[in-house]
A = this chain, B = another copy of it.
Amino acid sequence: MRYLVLFLLSFSLFSQSDEEVISSIFSTALTESKSYNWLDHISNQIGGRLSGSLEAQKAVEWSKSELDKLGFDKVYLQPVMVPTWVRGPKEFALIETEPGITFNVNITALGGSVATPSVGLKANVIEVFGLEELEALGKEKIDGKIVFFNRPMDPKYISTFTSYGTAVDQRALGALEASKYGAIGVIVRSMSLRVDDYPHTGGLTYGNLPLSKRIPAAAISTKGANKLSDLLKIKPNLKFLFRQQSKTLRDSQSYNVVAEIKGSEFPEEVILVGGHLDSWDIGDGAHDDGAGVVHSMDLLNIFNKISYRPKRTIRVVLFMNEENGGRGSNKYKEIADRDGIDHIFAIESDAGGFRPLGFSFTCSDSNFLKILEWKKFFAPYYVNVFIKGGSGADISNLRKPNNILAGLRPNSQKYFDYHHTEIDVFENVNKRELELGSAAVASLVYLFDKYGVQN
């Protein structure tokens, strides 16, 4: 009897129009998604999970065990060595306008930064608004000082990721560039469009600088940055003191988590759905990228609930080390190339658990025109943004001339309120908005699974 019922369910599904299937996907996501409970676990039971940490290892084990319950054909770990950076004790900073007159400010070490001396680093400050000012100032004005990069994200862009792009060079390259002019430390205004007291961490690079030339760098909250800037106007000789004991340890063993269900008709054609398991350490990585992890995991849960059996092979990949190295992405690509995997379509969710607005696609113009014909299926759910653009940091290396990559594009307005901070926590993700992300991803995967990609 049980098989008969399943057969009838399957039959009835196959007779449904695409509109009807996608309607089922959305209503199923809003009523039977597992994403919110999973996100609760990964955020509150595991927490921040920087590559190489105990939490990252727990996230690997937990996500594998949850994927094991969903009925994939195989779930396995892909070993990868990852950089291991540790923050050490809570950072500390203050502004000293004159001896004995001090103001506390909130900072967080930038990921990858070296430590200050254990008593802290104290020096005069020179405020700049961009990397290009360093050359004009020259070694004379910078040597022995802390360089304070204070150019805010430009708020006028509709996508906050574009705003981020107007300022993040200071965080990524500030220490590398300032050190060339003799700076002894770097403080960067947090990448945020709000004025508040949460510092935002994030990666930096020292390039090929020898260890002895690397200077410590921290992000200061936007409120702290405004205070420092204001005080510098009236007390240009003030001193800034900060202390951080961050350091890079030896590489650690870690893993990508891969789950695969073989396609019933075209098993050689692979569709990849992914997010990244690692996160920064100071919050719980709920939006970045717990949301992407649970969106990806939810795919087979939703397909199971609507009794959809994919025609093409589907791989859910939870990448390790997106935040500070991309080693998981590189390793996945290396193995996929070796095995000759044909990724016809890959989508990453790594822009938060907010209400999905649409997708961006990396593909040929002719493929994009075909995709635009699917917009109508998403209109009832107000998922209307179909644009050409980047996919995701973990999957962009899978691009081939004839395949299609995509990124989920949720509402980005609040993304940088939380990004890389201690308030990127479960409570700041809305259940329905998260579930709609699962539905949007599953609907697009359904269409690519059904229709494939034309060469």
Which of A's residues lie within 8 Å of B, judged by CB?
Answer: 26-27, 30-31, 155-158, 160, 193-194, 355, 357-358, 380-382, 384-385, 411, 413-414, 417, 430-433, 436
Contacts of A27 in B (CB 8 A): 156
Q: How far is A381 from B159 in the complex, measured between Cα atoms in Å?
A: 8
Q: Are A30 and B156 in contact (CB under 8 A)?
A: yes
Contacts of A417 in B (CB 8 A): 430
Q: 30 A-B contacts, Cβ less than 8 Å apart?
A: A26-B156, A26-B158, A27-B156, A30-B155, A30-B156, A30-B157, A31-B155, A155-B432, A158-B380, A158-B381, A158-B382, A158-B436, A193-B432, A194-B431, A355-B355, A355-B411, A355-B413, A357-B382, A358-B382, A382-B385, A382-B411, A384-B384, A384-B385, A413-B430, A413-B432, A413-B436, A414-B430, A414-B432, A414-B433, A417-B430
Contacts of A194 in B (CB 8 A): 431
A382 contact from B31, B384, B430, B432, Cβ within 8 A: B384
20 more contacts with CB within 8 A, not counting A355-B413, A382-B385, A414-B433, are A26-B156, A26-B158, A31-B155, A31-B156, A155-B432, A158-B380, A158-B381, A158-B382, A158-B436, A193-B431, A193-B432, A355-B355, A355-B411, A357-B382, A382-B411, A411-B411, A413-B432, A413-B433, A413-B436, A414-B432
Contacts of A380 in B (CB 8 A): 158
Q: How far is A381 from B158 in the complex, measured between Cα atoms in Å?
A: 6
Contacts of A431 in B (CB 8 A): 193-194
Q: How far is A403 from B157 in the complex, measured between Cα atoms in Å?
A: 34
Q: How far is A30 from B193 in the complex, measured between Cα atoms in Å?
A: 11
Smallest CB separation, A78 vs chain B (Å): 35
Smallest CB separation, A54 vs chain B (Å): 32
Contacts of A413 in B (CB 8 A): 355, 430, 432-433, 436
Smallest CB-CB A-B distances: 9 pairs? A384-B384, A27-B156, A413-B432, A413-B433, A158-B381, A30-B155, A355-B411, A30-B156, A382-B385
Contacts of A414 in B (CB 8 A): 430, 432-433
